[in-house]
Amino acid sequence: MKLAKLSLAAMVVAGLASSSFAADTLADAFKQGSVTGELKAYYFDRDYDSDGHENLLTTGLLLNYKTASFYGFGLNFTGQASASPFASSDEKALFAGDEYGSGAVLSEAYLSYSVGKTTALVGRMFLDTPLVASSGSRMTKQAFEGAALINTDLPGTTLIAGYVQKFQARTDGDGNIGKFSKTMGTGSGYPENTLGDIFEANNIDGNPSLYVDGGAFTLVAINKSITGLTLTAAYAQANDVKNFDSGISIDAVRIAYGEAAYAGAAGKFTYGLAAQYYYNNLSGVSAPSAVIPGLISGLDSNNLWGVKASVGYDAFGAYAAYTKVNDEENGIGVISGLGGGADLAYTGSPINSSSYANDTKAYKVGLTYAVLKNANLGVNYTVNKMDSNPSDWDETAWAAIEADYAFEGALKGLNTSVVYEDGSKDASGVSELWFKAAYKF
């Protein structure tokens, strides 16, 4: 876990660029290829009140092989394996949606080609763009099947175009590791009577998901021409979205995102200010008349906006954030994008809260402290309020503590992290503990 997140542009370029080592022959490209991997052990303790209190130990392996560059071409393969050998039937049931899924999957298998400052990729891959993004917060990292094009010719600017046709979830919900399918998870967690009312039958990875029969594309522009200022604009569109159980279909789900983030420093003093905006538009919505009467007819558009301010001095930091989802009567709130990593609202808690439900006002404050150069500590408090929600889940609060430590010396490459989150108000009785240990080689 890192309390300070890398920029999206840096992560995309670093994670998807082809090998910088050039080979003279095809055979040399394979011989000079590199192997990297990660051994992982995660322990989750989950208390969901009426759903039970269970804990789960999961072990996993991620193994990557990347060829050297051959006239600009490269191949990249990543396999993942997961096992929970001591899991009881109750533990399997409680964690089936996101953490318990035994087996192995080839998550990455793509061909890349680089020329100048442009890289193209085709196949299965991990993606990290604002609106189409893999999440690695659980044992098995999500992946997509499709194509991506990345260009950095313009000074201080990264341009990305992508198309995805299949998605690999963390698990299949039935005790197995996730497989590739047209059902694509979203980053929008939800309480009752929002997005889950419409797409509940499609739920995977603990969030509502979309069966995307016509594929999805995304366009991204990230600019850092002005020192300290990062401007991000992104658009994604999922076509021919269906729910076979309910009979609902949507011609197109359109998602737009914009952000302006400024970070500065004066000696040991640091400061930052950021603003974000999501916009959703759904067109061609149809469903049997018996399905959620009065709700389907109002499905059209919605938005979320947010602001965040941060200050720091030396090893200490503090921040405050606010987001608001428009009070539209479409009932589904805001869809934040495809994949669990497409979750950029400033007010999300580390594990359980959601800022995307209809008419949600969310507040978050936090403190961070860099205990050592390789150890961090953070605490935060999040409140979500839904004034128009008549359910018993209209105001929730989440207190969390996070810590991470990266070993040095003989144990360099070993990283540990712990997150504990406890719910209150309407979320009273919901708590979760994550402990993660991972060794990268």
Supply the CATH number for residue 320's domain: 2.40.160.10
Q: Does 328 fall in a domain?
A: yes
pTM of the model: 0.90
Q: What is the DSSP letter of 69?
A: B
How many angstroms separate the CA atoms of 163 and 83, rounded?
31
What one-letter code names the amino acid at 421?
A: E
Contact assessment for residue 237 and residue 254, using Cβ atoms and an 8 Å cutoff: yes
Beta carbons within 8 Å of 70's beta carbon, 6+ residues apart: 22, 23, 25, 26, 28, 29
Strand residue runs (E) in 347-409: 360-372, 375-386, 395-406
**Overall number of domains in the chain:** 1
Closest CA to 299 of 222, 369, 246, 378: 246
Encode the chain (441 residues) as per-residue pLDDT tens digits.
433 343 444 544 544 444 456 899 999 999 999 999 999 999 999 998 877 899 999 999 999 999 999 999 999 999 999 999 999 999 999 999 899 999 999 999 999 999 999 999 999 999 999 999 999 999 999 999 999 999 999 999 999 999 999 999 999 999 999 999 999 988 876 544 344 445 544 444 445 678 899 999 999 999 999 999 999 999 999 999 887 666 778 899 999 999 999 999 999 999 999 999 999 998 888 776 655 545 555 567 889 999 999 999 999 999 999 999 987 666 678 899 999 999 999 999 999 998 998 889 999 999 999 999 999 999 999 999 987 766 677 899 999 999 999 999 999 999 999 999 999 999 899 999 999 999 999
Closest CA to 420 of 409, 406, 436, 408: 436
Q: What is the DSSP letter of 173?
A: S
DSSP, collapsed to helix, strand or coil, labels residue 248 as strand
**Integer Rg of the chain from CA:** 22
Number of neighbours of residue 331 by Cβ within 10 angstroms: 20
What one-letter code names the amino acid at 218?
A: T
How many angstroms separate the CA atoms of 186 and 47, rounded?
24
Range(s) of the domain holding residue 192: 8-440
Q: Does 3 fall in a domain?
A: no
Q: Does 1 fall in a domain?
A: no
Q: Does 2 fall in a domain?
A: no
